[in-house]
Amino acid sequence: MSASAQPFLILTADDLGRCHAVNEAIRRAYCEGVLTSASLMVTGEGSAEAVALASEHPGLAVGLHLVVLAGRPALPPEEIPHLVGPDGLFPQDAFSFGLRCFLSRVAQAELAAEIEAQFRLYAETGLPLDHVDGHCHMHLHPTVLRILLPLAQRYGARGLRLPRDRLGLALAYDRRHATTHIVWAIVFSLLARHTLRTLRGYRFVVTSRVHGLFHTGRMTEGYVLRLLERLDVPSAEIYFHPATDLLEPLGPNPGDLATLLSPRVRHAIEQRGIVRGSYTDLAERKGAPCFSSCWPR
């Protein structure tokens, strides 16, 4: 089988820099497991430790995990009063926050300043910018995306996460929360269509599939083995939330770490001849990066 014909897989850990429990899990998943990539929260309490970790392991591809919801901003709260609450943090409610950013020009101006500040913080780490994604997938919000794409291009990002999970496969494995997952499937399908239209004129790679949406925070060994068995597209990303301790429901957890360390998962990848790598590797593998060459079948 030629290299170009082999399935290409990015295995990413989100929330690098959130805290020590996440950083240590990502270190183990890369050094002892199958992890190839991580997404950095530049405003996380463990960000300095995370940058040191990434610098010690240059083979781990790192990208920006943009935080504009449920987290700490880069700018002082007084500079972005329409984005943060009295505690100086971004709110938890995605719907009301998203609506405010869509309708308010003042909020949009503050949002643009905050997003650029996070890109600047990332650049100051000295780490190559492999990709960009968002906490709670807020990078796909139309207003955020419009601000983000020119900055991602200017700062040299190679890839962009575009969640396009397989609902049927997820429901076949576990039908709990089926109604919620169907709603998510509709919403993210619409966001993906809008994103692909907006990407015209930019040079980012996206994978054919991105798995992790429907089983976020519970990417069990069995489910990931099912994904690997049915991997039928040229390229895919599977993202995880590993941690050495359980931090929150559906968030960073030891179960995702165990899956990334699983010998059965490694064996399945090797048995199928799947090539592991990063968005940068994918861009170079395909030659000139072009999102339109990576549509799902």
> Which CATH number does the domain housing residue 289 bear?
3.20.20.370
Length of the chain: 297
Q: Each residue's pLDDT tens digit in the chain (297 positions)?
A: 445 568 999 999 999 999 999 999 999 999 999 999 999 999 999 999 999 999 999 999 999 999 999 999 999 999 999 999 999 999 998 888 989 988 999 999 999 999 999 999 999 999 999 999 999 999 999 999 999 999 999 999 999 999 999 999 999 988 888 999 999 999 999 999 999 999 998 999 999 999 999 999 999 999 999 999 999 999 999 999 999 998 888 889 999 999 999 999 999 999 999 999 999 999 998 544 444 444 443
Q: Count how many Cα atoms sit within 13 Å of the Cα of residue 209 in the half-sphere of its side chain.
A: 22
pLDDT score for 34: 98
Gap between the Cα atoms of 150 and 279, Å rounded = 18
pLDDT score for 289: 43
pLDDT score for 1: 45
Q: What's the pTM value of the predicted model, to 2 decimals?
A: 0.93
Gap between the Cα atoms of 174 and 201, Å rounded = 39
pLDDT digits 0-9 by tens, 137-173: 999 999 999 999 999 999 999 999 999 999 999 999 8
End-to-end CA distance of the chain: 20
Which amino acid is it at 35? L
Q: How far is CA 67 from CA 20, 73, 132, 289, in A?
A: 18, 7, 11, 26
Residue 123 host element (H or E): helix 105-125
pLDDT score for 296: 43
pLDDT score for 297: 37
pLDDT score for 286: 59
What is the number of domains present in the chain? 1
Residue-range definition of the domain harbouring residue 221: 3-294
